[in-house]
Amino acid sequence: MSTATYTVAGMTCGHCVGSVKEEVGAIAGVTGVDVDLESGAVTVTSEAPLDESLFRAAVEEAGYEVKA
């Protein structure tokens, strides 16, 4: 099991959170996605370490941006 936390910019509501959870949750191997709207923190639990480029692509597909 692997856990990683990223910061996502641009989320302003519950719908935003749902969109990010849906896209990130669709990545192969992801077993859980927790989003904190206030801080923009997205914690991803996966079977193996997550490829950051896949995470970035999923967040961008949802319409948001990963902060460095």
13-62 confidence digits (pLDDT tens): 999 999 999 999 999 999 999 999 999 999 999 999 999 999 999 999 99
Instruction: Map residue 7 onto helix, strand or coil.
Output: strand
CA 37-29-62 angle, to 5 degrees, is: 40
Please report the pLDDT score of residue 68 as a whole number. Answer: 73
CA dist 29 and 32 (Å) reads: 9
Q: Which CATH code for domain 2-67?
A: 3.30.70.100
Phi then psi dihedrals of residue 54, to 5 deg: -70, -40
Residue located via tokens 């490829």: 51
Task: Give domain limits for the chain.
Answer: 2-67
User: What pLDDT is recorded for position 62?
Assistant: 97
